[in-house]
Amino acid sequence: MSTFPADSRSESVPRRGLDPWLLRLPILFFTGAILTLTALTIFAGVAQLAFRDRILSGVSAYGVDLSGMTIPEAITALDGRFTYDDSAVFTFRDEDHFWQISAGELGVSFDPQATATEAFTAGHSGNPILNVVDQFLIWLNGERVTPIIRYDQNVATERLMTIALELNHPPVDATLSITATSVSSTPSSIGRMVNIPATLAQLEANILGLTTGAEVPLIIEESAPRIRDAEVAAAKARSALSSPLLLVAEGTTADGAPLGPWMASVQQIASLLLVGLVENGDGTYSYDVNFNPSAFRDYLGSLADGLFQPARNARYHFIDETGQLQVIEPSVSERRLDVAATLSRMEDQVFNPSNRIVPISFDYVPAQYHDNLTAAELGIAGLISEGDSYYTGSSRPRIENILQATSRFDGIIIGAGETFSFNEWVGDISPEEGYVSG
Look at residue 406 in the predicted model and tell me its pLDDT. Answer: 82
Q: Answer with the residue of higher pLDDT: 57 or 39.
A: 57
Q: Are residues 296 and 247 part of one domain?
A: yes
Look at residue 131 in the predicted model and tell me its pLDDT. Answer: 61
pLDDT at 207 over 80: yes
Write out the residue range of the structural domain in which residue 144 sits. 34-165
Q: Answer with the residue of higher pLDDT: 7 or 201.
A: 201
Among candidate residues 359, 381, 403, the one where a domain is terminated? 381
Residue 218 within any structural domain of the chain? no
Look at residue 7 in the predicted model and tell me its pLDDT. Answer: 47
Residue 9 within any structural domain of the chain? no
pLDDT at 203 over 50: yes
**Which residues are CB-contacts of 140 (< 8 A; sequence separation ≥ 6)?**
none
Run of H or E residues at 161: helix 153-167
pLDDT at 53 over 80: no
Q: Assess contact for 347 and 294: CB atoms under 8 A.
A: no
Q: Assess contact for 294 and 284: CB atoms under 8 A.
A: no
Residue 12 within any structural domain of the chain? no
pLDDT at 44 over 60: no
Look at residue 127 in the predicted model and tell me its pLDDT. Answer: 63
Residue 193 within any structural domain of the chain? no
Confidence category of residue 34, pLDDT binned at 50, 70, 90: confident
Q: Hey, which bits of 230-345 come out as E strands?
A: 245-248, 262-264, 273-279, 285-291, 315-319, 324-329, 334-337
Least confident of 94-98, 193-197, 349-353, 419-423: 419-423
Q: Are residues 316 and 345 part of one domain?
A: yes
Run of H or E residues at 149: strand 149-151
Q: N- to C-terminal Cα distance for the chain?
A: 233
Residue 293 within any structural domain of the chain? yes
Residue 192 within any structural domain of the chain? no
Tally of domains in the chain: 3
Confidence category of residue 185, pLDDT binned at 50, 70, 90: very high
pLDDT at 228 over 80: yes
Q: Are residues 356 and 270 part of one domain?
A: yes
Look at residue 128 in the predicted model and tell me its pLDDT. Answer: 64
> What SS3 state is found at 409?
coil
CB atoms < 10 A from the CB of 124, how many? 19
Instruction: Work out whether the CA dihedral 31, 35, 41, 44 comes out positive or negative.
Output: negative
pLDDT at 344 over 60: yes
Q: Assess contact for 190 and 170: CB atoms under 8 A.
A: no
In total, the chain counts a number of residues equal to 438
Confidence category of residue 190, pLDDT binned at 50, 70, 90: very high
CA pair distance 292, 303, nearest whole angstrom: 19
Q: What is the pLDDT of residues 78-95, one digit of tens each?
A: 888 888 889 999 999 999
Q: What would the mean pLDDT of 142-170 be, rounded to a whole number?
A: 93
Q: What is the mean pLDDT of the chain?
A: 85
Q: Answer with the residue of higher pLDDT: 98 or 422.
A: 98
Q: Are residues 377 and 234 part of one domain?
A: yes
Confidence category of residue 258, pLDDT binned at 50, 70, 90: confident
Q: Are residues 411 and 344 part of one domain?
A: no
Q: Are residues 395 and 373 part of one domain?
A: no
Residue 376 within any structural domain of the chain? yes
Confidence category of residue 17, pLDDT binned at 50, 70, 90: low
pLDDT at 10 over 60: no
Look at residue 94 in the predicted model and tell me its pLDDT. Answer: 95
Residue 246 within any structural domain of the chain? yes
Q: Assess contact for 335 and 367: CB atoms under 8 A.
A: no
Q: Are residues 158 and 255 part of one domain?
A: no
3-state helix, strand, coil in the chain (%, to 5): 35, 25, 40
Q: Are residues 238 and 94 part of one domain?
A: no
Run of H or E residues at 266: helix 266-271
Among candidate residues 121, 150, 165, the one where a domain is terminated? 165
Q: What CATH number corresponds to the domain at position 364? A: 3.10.20.800
Q: What is the pLDDT of residues 261-274, one digit of tens each?
A: 999 999 999 999 99
Confidence category of residue 194, pLDDT binned at 50, 70, 90: very high
Q: Assess contact for 163 and 93: CB atoms under 8 A.
A: no
pLDDT at 30 over 80: no
Q: Which residues are paired to 80 by β-bridges?
A: none
pLDDT at 380 over 90: no
pLDDT at 3 over 70: no
Q: Are residues 145 and 47 part of one domain?
A: yes
pLDDT at 140 over 80: no
Q: Assess contact for 107 and 156: CB atoms under 8 A.
A: yes
pLDDT at 47 over 90: no
Q: What would the mean pLDDT of 192-210 be, rounded to a whole number?
A: 93
pLDDT at 22 over 70: no
Among candidate residues 136, 165, 194, the one where a domain is terminated? 165
pLDDT at 142 over 50: yes
pTM of the model: 0.59
